[in-house]
Amino acid sequence: MCTKGHLSEDVIFLLLQHLNWNPKIIATLSCVCKWFDDLVKRVLWKEFCRTRAPKMMRDLQSSGSHSVDGNWSALAKLLIYCSGCKKDGLFNKIYIPGHFAYRTRFSRTSGKSFLLPNCRSDVLYVSDPCEHLDQGEEGDVGFFRGVFKSFATSKVRKMLIRRGAKFHPTEYCPYCKGKLWSMLQAKMIPQSASCRLGAYEDCIEYYVCLNGHVLGICTLLPLSDSEEVSEFD
């Protein structure tokens, strides 16, 4: 590993802290050399996550583990990146390129709406939908993403295994490259999910990977209709 001529880790830490943990600068640093890449993966993405979503990060780590399922760079990407979709890809719909989404709210309360009643002791954080309007025949499309706390011991994972759910044969999690289960194929999407998103009930699909990252798509109701949708228990 290249170590000569670098600033100390403490100096780089203070510099990035002064720059409010700018994700573009962190990503650029990881491309400089192996020494910087190690520092970015080990320290900088973790501090970025803790600064961007402090309550969420404390909760995800409150089970006693000092690591997040997957890794910090994957979680950082999930916080700020909408993966979009490609033709003949995971969602088999129109092409919508991925993009950065810097202002995204993740909610533990909303996450309950994406779980079957007997799995609602699990902790799932889900984002508000990233809206892509007027997508031709697909209408108004929304992408959402999320993350489970301690997914390895969750009731959702146990139910997926018990139901014999199969991994997607060709696609992988865009955040950590883990294998993906389809919650639609496993028949584990409750009606409350569409109500929470303001989406058509039969036009919602989402996947969860082995590390507990969630990514999904829905067709959004017109605003006048979605305003009248009540929460389904």
Q: Evaluate whether residue 70 is within a structural domain.
A: no
Among 65-69, 100-104, 146-150, 164-168, the minimum mean pLDDT is found in 65-69
- Which positions ≥6 away from 133 have C-beta within 8 Å? 140, 141
Q: Evaluate whether residue 31 is within a structural domain.
A: no
Q: Evaluate whether residue 25 is within a structural domain.
A: no
- Across 100-104, average pLDDT: 84
**Nearest-CA neighbor of 207 among 198, 197, 217?**
217
Q: Evaluate whether residue 24 is within a structural domain.
A: no
Whether the per-residue pLDDT at 226 is higher than 70: the answer is no
Dihedral of the alpha carbons of 210, 212, 213, 215, in degrees to the nearest 10: 90
Q: Evaluate whether residue 151 is within a structural domain.
A: yes
Q: Evaluate whether residue 76 is within a structural domain.
A: no
Q: Is the Cβ–Cβ distance between 38 and 1 less than 8 Å?
A: yes
Q: Which amino acid is at 12?
A: I
Q: Evaluate whether residue 193 is within a structural domain.
A: yes
Q: Evaluate whether residue 129 is within a structural domain.
A: yes
* Residue 3: predicted pLDDT: 52
Number of domains in the chain: 1
- Across 57-84, average pLDDT: 81
Q: Which domain holds residue 203?
A: 86-220
